Amino acid sequence: MEVVTKYFADFSAGQLQQLQQLQAVYTEWNEKINVISRKDIDSLYEKHVLHSLSIAAVFDFQPGTQICDLGTGGGFPGIPLAIFFPEVQFHLTDSINKKLNVVREVAAAVGLKNITTQHTRTEEIKDRKFDFVVSRAVAPLKDLWRWSVPILKAKGQGKAATAFDEPIYGGLICLKGGDLTQEIHESGLHPLVWEIEQLFTEDFFKEKYVLAVKR
């Protein structure tokens, strides 16, 4: 867990306890339902928790912000972000219910009260709107944006998130890796891009990025 506290020093005692519990809970559940690669479970804090928290290194979500984690899988980036931002509400969705079962068990085990889950495809969400959508390498950027637009609140209604250069009032935030030139071109979008290796020095984060598309 030191790889997380190396970069984030202002966790409360309760948050530190929640973070510490993740290893044991994920290890236990991963033996029943494989939601994390077997070879990655020992690198949980670097490859999953810290990677998820790269969003927190760029954005400061305000209390009361509503965020949908699209295709959360085993709970990333949603669960680490929910620990980091206890006054922000996270709605974690996935089309595979057994993965959400793990998410619910992990959230209950560490005492997270700001998470809800829904077994659904994002395009089937009809009754809710969010300030932001977050996602980790689920699909091409053009598809993520197409799925996000219908569930995002109108511009200006969301809580402001502060980036390094300017506030962002709602939109899509996603984690991606590799050469994104073609993917961004095909999307027709103009995302803001941050290199994670400028935030965290571990080799794992080379050619990994935080992208944000404003609402």
To the question of whether residue 215 is assigned a binding role by annotation, the answer is no
C-beta of residue 44 within 8 angstroms of C-beta of residue 2: no
Run of H or E including 195: strand 192-195
In angstroms, rounded to a whole number, what is the distance separating the alpha carbons of residues 175 and 54? 9
In angstroms, rounded to a whole number, what is the distance separating the alpha carbons of residues 172 and 176? 12
C-beta of residue 4 within 8 angstroms of C-beta of residue 49: yes
What are the CA-CA distances from residue 170 to residues 55, 92, 111 (Å)? 14, 17, 27
To the question of whether residue 170 is assigned a binding role by annotation, the answer is no
What are the CA-CA distances from residue 17 to residues 1, 22, 83, 109, 145 (Å)? 11, 9, 10, 11, 35
What are the CA-CA distances from residue 63 to residues 76, 88, 175, 192, 214 (Å)? 20, 5, 22, 23, 19
To the question of whether residue 136 is assigned a binding role by annotation, the answer is yes
Binding positions: 71, 76, 136
Binding positions for S-adenosyl-L-methionine: 71, 76, 136
